[in-house]
Amino acid sequence: MFKTNDYFDGKVKSITFETIEGPATVGVMAAGEYEFGTSSVEYMTVISGEMDVKLPGESGWKTFLPFETFIVPANVKFGVRMKGDTAYRCLYR
Protein backbone atom coordinates (compact mmCIF):
# COMPACT_ATOMS: atom_id res chain seq x y z
CA MET A 1 0.00 0.00 0.00
CA PHE A 2 2.61 2.53 1.11
CA LYS A 3 6.05 2.34 -0.49
CA THR A 4 9.12 2.45 1.76
CA ASN A 5 12.48 3.78 0.62
CA ASP A 6 15.95 2.91 1.97
CA TYR A 7 19.10 4.98 1.50
CA PHE A 8 22.65 4.73 2.84
CA ASP A 9 22.40 1.04 3.80
CA GLY A 10 19.13 1.61 5.65
CA LYS A 11 20.45 4.46 7.78
CA VAL A 12 17.76 6.60 6.15
CA LYS A 13 14.28 5.13 5.68
CA SER A 14 11.08 6.80 4.54
CA ILE A 15 7.44 6.12 3.63
CA THR A 16 5.91 7.75 0.54
CA PHE A 17 2.38 9.17 0.74
CA GLU A 18 0.17 11.70 -0.99
CA THR A 19 -0.96 15.16 0.11
CA ILE A 20 -3.48 17.49 -1.53
CA GLU A 21 -0.59 19.53 -2.96
CA GLY A 22 1.58 16.61 -4.14
CA PRO A 23 3.78 13.73 -3.02
CA ALA A 24 5.47 13.61 0.37
CA THR A 25 7.49 11.34 2.63
CA VAL A 26 7.95 10.88 6.35
CA GLY A 27 11.17 9.26 7.40
CA VAL A 28 13.95 8.79 9.88
CA MET A 29 17.73 9.27 9.62
CA ALA A 30 20.23 7.59 11.97
CA ALA A 31 23.22 9.49 13.37
CA GLY A 32 25.57 10.41 10.53
CA GLU A 33 26.16 12.81 7.67
CA TYR A 34 24.40 12.45 4.33
CA GLU A 35 24.24 14.22 0.98
CA PHE A 36 21.01 14.19 -1.02
CA GLY A 37 20.14 15.45 -4.50
CA THR A 38 16.80 17.05 -5.34
CA SER A 39 14.76 16.68 -8.52
CA SER A 40 12.02 19.07 -7.35
CA VAL A 41 11.73 21.77 -4.71
CA GLU A 42 11.70 20.08 -1.28
CA TYR A 43 10.13 21.49 1.89
CA MET A 44 11.88 19.63 4.70
CA THR A 45 10.42 19.80 8.22
CA VAL A 46 12.13 18.27 11.23
CA ILE A 47 9.67 16.13 13.24
CA SER A 48 11.87 14.78 16.04
CA GLY A 49 15.52 15.21 16.97
CA GLU A 50 17.80 17.86 15.55
CA MET A 51 19.17 18.28 12.02
CA ASP A 52 22.17 20.30 10.85
CA VAL A 53 21.73 21.41 7.25
CA LYS A 54 24.14 22.79 4.64
CA LEU A 55 22.29 24.26 1.70
CA PRO A 56 23.96 24.82 -1.68
CA GLY A 57 25.97 28.04 -1.81
CA GLU A 58 26.22 28.26 1.96
CA SER A 59 29.50 27.61 3.74
CA GLY A 60 28.14 26.78 7.18
CA TRP A 61 25.73 24.38 8.84
CA LYS A 62 22.46 25.59 10.32
CA THR A 63 20.55 23.62 12.96
CA PHE A 64 16.82 22.85 12.60
CA LEU A 65 14.63 21.73 15.49
CA PRO A 66 11.25 19.93 15.50
CA PHE A 67 8.61 21.64 13.37
CA GLU A 68 11.14 23.99 11.77
CA THR A 69 11.26 23.89 7.96
CA PHE A 70 13.94 24.56 5.35
CA ILE A 71 13.42 24.75 1.60
CA VAL A 72 15.78 23.16 -0.92
CA PRO A 73 15.69 24.22 -4.60
CA ALA A 74 15.26 21.66 -7.39
CA ASN A 75 18.30 19.98 -8.98
CA VAL A 76 20.87 20.69 -6.27
CA LYS A 77 22.74 18.69 -3.67
CA PHE A 78 22.48 19.46 0.05
CA GLY A 79 24.00 18.05 3.20
CA VAL A 80 22.42 17.01 6.49
CA ARG A 81 23.94 15.59 9.66
CA MET A 82 22.59 14.52 13.03
CA LYS A 83 23.86 13.04 16.28
CA GLY A 84 20.92 10.68 16.86
CA ASP A 85 17.74 9.40 15.21
CA THR A 86 16.01 12.33 13.54
CA ALA A 87 12.56 12.19 11.94
CA TYR A 88 11.41 14.46 9.13
CA ARG A 89 8.61 15.21 6.70
CA CYS A 90 9.47 16.12 3.10
CA LEU A 91 7.04 17.75 0.66
CA TYR A 92 7.97 17.60 -3.06
CA ARG A 93 6.61 20.54 -5.05
Tell me which residues touch its own copies (CB under 8 A).
Answer: 1-2, 4, 9-11, 13-15, 17-20, 24, 26-28, 30, 45, 47-49, 67, 84-85, 87, 89, 91
Q: Which residues contact 83 (CB under 8 A, 6 or more apart)?
A: 31, 50
Give DSSP secondary structure letters for 39-63. Answer: SS-EEEEEEES-EEEE-TT--S-EE
Q: How far is the CB of 45 from its own copies (least distance, A)?
A: 8
Q: Which is nearer to its own copies, 9 or 59 (CB)?
A: 9
Q: Which is nearer to its own copies, 27 or 42 (CB)?
A: 27
